[in-house]
Structure 1
Amino acid sequence: MRIHFYKLHLGGNSFILIDTESEKQLAIKDYPEISKSICNRRYGVGSSGCIFLDEQNNVRVYRPDGTECADFYDALFCTARYAFDSGRMTKNSNGDYELKFNTLKGEKILKVISSREFEVVLGSAFSFSSGKIINSESTSIMETIEIDQHKIKMAGIHILSDILVTSPKTLSSKPFFLLYTKLREIFKPQKIFLTYSQAVTKETLCIRTIKRGENTSCASAAAALISSVISGTSNNGAVCVFTQGNKSLFEEQNLLVKDTDDSKKITILWDTQENSLRAIASGGYLFEGFFEY
């Protein structure tokens, strides 16, 4: 069976998208096995998940192990980009354009700001160690974790996923992936993601995270903003730029200029009165092709 697909990404986290309107031979019962094959990074195309989108804007997303996702905001932004480009937006009662998708958790609505900017509500965050809701009145969310007799200050934040946020300034001698591996062992079986966050300006954060999972880019950006706001280094809204390590302001500005499809950054807005986080972003195309299944 020959399957046409698109590969998109958000902040480096990639997904395969299959438009089932043009792939009538596919049955829902086949989605798990197709996902396992096409997402395989050795023998398939490789991605964090496989998106199946039909003509009614029903969206189903499967992980590389074939299990289905209920929440998938990174994948949702990739779906939004494709849906916009294929003319699937509608107007609401106020005359504003929006994209509506039917998911396992009900209808998801993204506001269309521009052809490369879509906005969605992420919700509120809480500390995954204490379970307490995090809001603008939270005085400190930092915790100390000891690794190899070295104490590291981190913020443990749950927003879509469990994110550990820390500053790369205090970890110059410890490689990113080595630290991530050690943290995974400490928190096992809990699934956590490590995020380095550095405020370049009050409106710009440089972040680095693991490019896996269905929510990782959105969750990491939101957690980074929360940590930065509470520490006083960021405003309630900031552009989070995904990088591979520390960058200067000049380098960050160059990255934004080259980011013509707006897929390497996410704008996070924190409404502190409602205690609600919103994300503005767009998936970006990597390539399209055919997969023999």
Structure 2
Amino acid sequence: MKLKGILIAGGVSLLTLASLAYAADDKLTQLRQQGFARIAIANEPPFTAVGADGKVTGAAPDVARAVFKKLGVNDVVASVSEYGAMIPGLAAGRHDAIAAGLFMTPQRCAAVAYSQPVLCAVEAFAVKKGNTKSIKTYDEIAKDSKAVIGVEGGTTEQKLATAANIPTDRVIIVPDGQSGLKMLQDGRIDVFALPLLSITDLLSKAKDPNLESIAPVQNTPVQCDGVAFRKQDTALRDAFDVELKKMKESGEFAKIVEPYGFSAKAAMSTSREKLCAAKN
């Protein structure tokens, strides 16, 4: 039917569809005008980090900052968020994007519009010395009725623990890496799980000779993240991807991520489409 010269199809007018498309295209203009993009991070070096002076660094924000600058958005302003709160915060408009090592899964890909891959990593455990023989996989933790694992809420590690059927009373949710490591040192958990580079960073700073890492954790996939945008901001995501691709091809991308320990080749050897379709 027609209403005031506007075709109605399936209850949605062409004017409405045009407005939605315009809003998506206009997001980049909005960011250019405000001069910065608001990003969610987790303060988990080397993915993300906040210095004592408040300066935001880490591989994920550094890549996002560089790409946004090429798009005419001069800087990023970061807010620290728990992983489980990032996507709801993005959907609510508190962030313009997530640049935090939020690994792609089919479930997350259904909720956000990911860029092409940025950072890839393998899984690791931090344990007290002597536990490396008895704790090698999530399945072994599940079978050991006394083993307790610490994970950050809303992370891939929490999902891996759930998939291995580790009882919830033996999965302790911690707010951040420093808290998880302290609980391990205090004997409140037997293993703390994070990506390898995060575990390595924590252990190097702790300088505790009684701790060591297990990596990669057997039977876990290589995980990759991307910068995440709202579903309606696919035009902004696509513009981001164009500049990200140029940076990968020029070598600028490698110069940003490799000093943090990440492999540029790993991110360039896969795609959003493959990662979003993978069964993790």
Query: Shorter-chain TM-score category?
Result: under 0.3
- The structure that is helix-richer by fraction is 2
Structure number with greater CO (CA < 8 Å, separation at least 6) is 2
**Larger radius of gyration between Structure 1 and Structure 2:** 2
Give the TM-score of the pair, scaled to structure 1: 0.27
Give the TM-score of the pair, scaled to structure 2: 0.27
